[in-house]
Homo-oligomer: A and B are copies of this chain.
């Protein structure tokens, strides 16, 4: 079997092992079978742009594997990253449901497998499968939540250090605890981190240096180690 971009494509959702709670595709077999009929599975290379903000919604993309960057850009080129979406998430959901243009730009951070579902197929699917519709509502609600989280970070923080601390703590939940601290794989540049918290690259570099000095956290290559979680937490409840 050919494996474009070095990833395996799983064609049949029913046989797919990835499915787990919280995944959109975690549906009863009957609904899943329906979904299988209307989806198009394919692989995308790193850097692939799935949709661009302002485009009319063509449909949704379910992430089967890989990570996708969701961002928005101002006319003068400043970019803000809203979220890094992972397997199990559905992209373009709000645009597809509301019929309004995509609000964000989606770009693959690494080779990805994505299942595409055309808008009319997807809406029909939701209408006929209350369970899937509720799943969709849950995913939308998760998106809201993460957006609110970001608003809190952008609007209520007193300093960049605080915003960065919030971000690291958010990440810390999906890291592995080791003897020296919580170890997390982040494949993001300082530039991208800056875009996640709405600041400049230089400031991220400086604040990360500060955190290293204070033995709060350490970013080496693409591994982040949280050395002093309570210390970071203390930065956000000033």
A100 close to chain B: CB less than 8 A: yes
Please state if B156 and A155 are interface contacts (CB–CB under 8 Å): no
Task: Find residues 86-104 in chain A having any chain B CB closer than 8 Å to their own CB.
Answer: 93-95, 97-98, 100, 103-104
Over the window 73-84 of chain A, the binary record of Cβ atoms lying under 8 Å from chain B Cβ atoms (1 yes, 0 no) is 111101010100
* Copies assembled: 2
Which of B131, B137, B150, B152 is the one whose CB lies under 8 Å from A136? B137
A103 contact set on B, CB distance < 8 A: 144-145, 148
Q: How far is the CB of A181 from chain B (nearest CB, A)?
A: 25
A127 close to chain B: CB less than 8 A: yes
Expressed in whole angstroms, the Cα–Cα distance for A136 and B137 within the complex equals: 7
A72 contact set on B, CB distance < 8 A: 148, 151-152, 156
Nearest B residue to A98 by beta-carbon distance? B141
A45 contact set on B, CB distance < 8 A: none
A16 close to chain B: CB less than 8 A: no
Over the window 33-76 of chain A, the binary record of Cβ atoms lying under 8 Å from chain B Cβ atoms (1 yes, 0 no) is 00000000000000000000000000000000000000011111
A150 contact set on B, CB distance < 8 A: 151
A80 contact set on B, CB distance < 8 A: 151-152, 155-156
A198 contact set on B, CB distance < 8 A: 154-156
User: Among the interface residues A127, A131, A136, A147, which one has the most CB atoms of the partner chain B within 10 A?
Assistant: A147
A130 close to chain B: CB less than 8 A: yes
Nearest B residue to A196 by beta-carbon distance? B155
Expressed in whole angstroms, the Cα–Cα distance for A238 and B77 within the complex equals: 10
A138 close to chain B: CB less than 8 A: yes
A140 close to chain B: CB less than 8 A: yes
A134 close to chain B: CB less than 8 A: yes
Task: Find residues 118-171 in chain A having any chain B CB closer than 8 Å to their own CB.
Answer: 123, 126-131, 133-134, 136-138, 140-145, 147-148, 150-152, 154-156
A180 close to chain B: CB less than 8 A: no
Which of B93, B127, B136, B145 is the one whose CB lies under 8 Å from A94? B145
Can you list 6 A-B contacts with CB-CB less than 8 angstroms, sorted by A residue number? Answer: A80-B152, A93-B141, A97-B137, A103-B145, A133-B137, A150-B151
Instruction: Kindly list the 3 A-B residue pairs having the minimum CB-CB distance in the complex, ordered from nearest.
Output: A147-B147, A94-B141, A155-B198
